Amino acid sequence: MASYNTSEFKKGLKVQIDGDPYILFECNFVKPGKGQALYKCKLRNLLRGTVLDRTYKSGDSLDAADIATIDAQFLYKQGDMFVFMDNDTYEQYELSKEQVDDSWKWFKEGTVCSMLLYNGNPISMEPPNHMVLRVEYGEPSTRGNTATNLTKSVKLETGAEVIVPAFIDQGDLLKIDTRTGEYLERVKE
User: pLDDT, tens digit, for every residue of 159-187?
Assistant: 888 888 888 788 888 888 888 888 888 88
Reduce the secondary structure of the chain to three states and give it as a string.
Answer: CCEEEHHHCCCCCEEEECCEEEEEEEEEEECCCCCCCEEEEEEEECCCCCEEEEEEECCCEEEECCEEEEEEEEEEEECCEEEEEECCCCCEEEEEHHHHHHHHHHCCCCCEEEEEEECCEEEEEECCCEEEEEEEECCCCCCCCCCCCCEEEEEECCCCEEEEECCCCCCCEEEEECCCCEEEEEECC
For the chain, domains (ranges, CATH) are: 3-64 (2.30.30.30), 67-126 (2.40.50.140), 130-187 (2.40.50.140)
The pLDDT tens digits of the residues spanning 74-94 come to 998 888 888 999 988 889 998
The model's pTM:
0.70
